[in-house]
């Protein structure tokens, strides 16, 4: 979760607005660009999760490739500012690559940008790749994202990646598949680094919301089909000359095979030294799978600190407590009166 004004301050905010700065290479092109209608969206279902859109005054209509809001390598920094009781609290949302052609309109120039993972999308691999033998997750991350410095938040948790893995030519899609396969989340933080961390559970939420503070609405949503069988296979032969295989299932209704069908999650484990390692991996994959109980969408007063991957606890208007991992959000920073949409996958633990 980003740093910034807490829930207590947000409930007493007089105003929330955005500061936008523009750079190209190492050159600052403009600071404090006045904007309206600025919305930041993010979704873990996209290879480049973050997107920003805003309108600037007509005086900022680009007149050269080097203009602050053109798309010739320009990047904009978005900072959310919460004003409460005469004090301003800043939250750095992050940097965005301006991608789409600008649009001149009556109200100003409309600009669209994508998160910094866009630089990976813009430079695909020349041909599909596989991990090197013995290559660990962080090494693979660095190989797939050479243009963005990376940080593994817990360097002791750095599993070996299976050499049987196949990556396509899209760097961002391959990064997403790699992290998902080993239970990691990732994001480019405001410091410009690609942070990678083990997917978190419901144990310690980053923030708490209720109808007494920021929560406005809490409608229910469905959830995608999940596996009911998890299989892990060792990449190397065991002492008996055979590959170890561990299979675990959760087929209690409504996930019974007769009615629900069979949905298998199969993965390979390259660093298994014993059958117990394979068994533990299968159990862990099942726990991660069944921990997602359902999906919910919340409407809250804008909280600029929220990022995808955060775990939040919400006391709904119906009095239930929901703990979930943020999968997507739509954050209207400079649109007074509009609420923020937060989509979470509800965690059982």
Cβ neighbors of 306 (< 8 A, separation 6 or more) are 1, 2, 207, 312, 326, 329, 331, 340, 342
Quote the pLDDT of residue 128: 86
Render pLDDT for 321-339 as a digit per residue (tens, 0 to 9).
Answer: 889 999 999 999 988 778 9
Q: Is the pLDDT at 218 greater than 80, yes or no?
A: no
Show the CA angle centred on residue 79, arms to residues 69 and 46, nearest 5°.
75
Render pLDDT for 238-296 as a digit per residue (tens, 0 to 9).
Answer: 555 678 999 999 998 899 999 999 999 998 876 677 888 788 888 888 877 776 657 78
The CATH code for residues 121-198 is: 3.55.50.10
The confidence band for 149, taking pLDDT boundaries of 50, 70 and 90, is: very high
Render pLDDT for 11-24 as a digit per residue (tens, 0 to 9).
Answer: 999 999 999 999 99
The confidence band for 319, taking pLDDT boundaries of 50, 70 and 90, is: confident
Render pLDDT for 222-235 as a digit per residue (tens, 0 to 9).
Answer: 667 889 999 999 87
Q: Domain locations in the chain?
A: 7-115, 121-198
Residue 256's nearest CA partner among 291, 228, 231 is 228
Spatial separation of the C-alpha atoms in residues 176 and 174, rounded to whole Å: 5
């Amino acid at each position: 979760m980003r740093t910034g004004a807490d829930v207590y301050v947000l409930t007493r905010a007089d105003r929330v607005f955005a500061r936008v700065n523009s750079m190209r290479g190492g050159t600052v092109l403009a600071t404090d660009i006045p904007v309206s209608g600025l919305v930041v969206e993010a979704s873990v279902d996209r290879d480049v999760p973050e997107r920003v859109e805003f309108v600037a005054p007509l005086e900022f209509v680009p007149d050269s490739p080097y203009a602050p809001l053109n798309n010739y390598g320009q990047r904009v920094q978005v900072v959310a500012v919460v004003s409460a009781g005469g004090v301003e609290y800043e939250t750095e949302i992050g940097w965005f690559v301006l991608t789409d052609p600008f649009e001149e309109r009556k109200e100003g120039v409309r600009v669209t940008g994508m998160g910094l993972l866009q630089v990976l999308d813009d430079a695909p691999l020349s041909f599909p790749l596989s991990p090197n033998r013995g290559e660990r997750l962080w090494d693979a991350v660095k190989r797939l994202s050479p243009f963005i410095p990376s940080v593994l938040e817990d360097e002791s948790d750095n599993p070996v990646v299976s050499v049987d893995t196949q990556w396509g030519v899209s760097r961002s899609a391959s990064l997403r598949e790699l992290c998902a396969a080993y239970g990691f989340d990732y994001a480019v933080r405001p410091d410009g680094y690609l942070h990678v961390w083990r997917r978190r559970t419901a144990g310690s939420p980053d923030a708490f919301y209720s109808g007494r503070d920021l929560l406005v609405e809490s409608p229910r949503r469905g959830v995608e089909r999940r596996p009911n069988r998890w299989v892990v296979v060792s990449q190397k032969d065991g002492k008996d000359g055979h590959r170890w295989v561990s299979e675990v299932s959760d087929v209690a209704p409504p996930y019974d095979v007769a009615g629900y069908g069979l949905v298998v999650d199969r993965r390979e484990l390259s660093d298994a030294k014993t059958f117990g390692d394979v068994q533990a991996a299968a159990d862990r994959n099942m726990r991660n799978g069944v921990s997602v109980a359902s999906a919910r969408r919340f409407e809250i007063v804008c909280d600029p600190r929220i990022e995808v991957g955060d775990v939040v606890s919400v006391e709904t208007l119906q009095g239930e407590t929901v703990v979930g991992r943020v999968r997507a959000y739509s954050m209207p920073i400079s649109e007074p009166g509009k609420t923020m949409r937060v989509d979470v996958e509800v965690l059982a633990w």
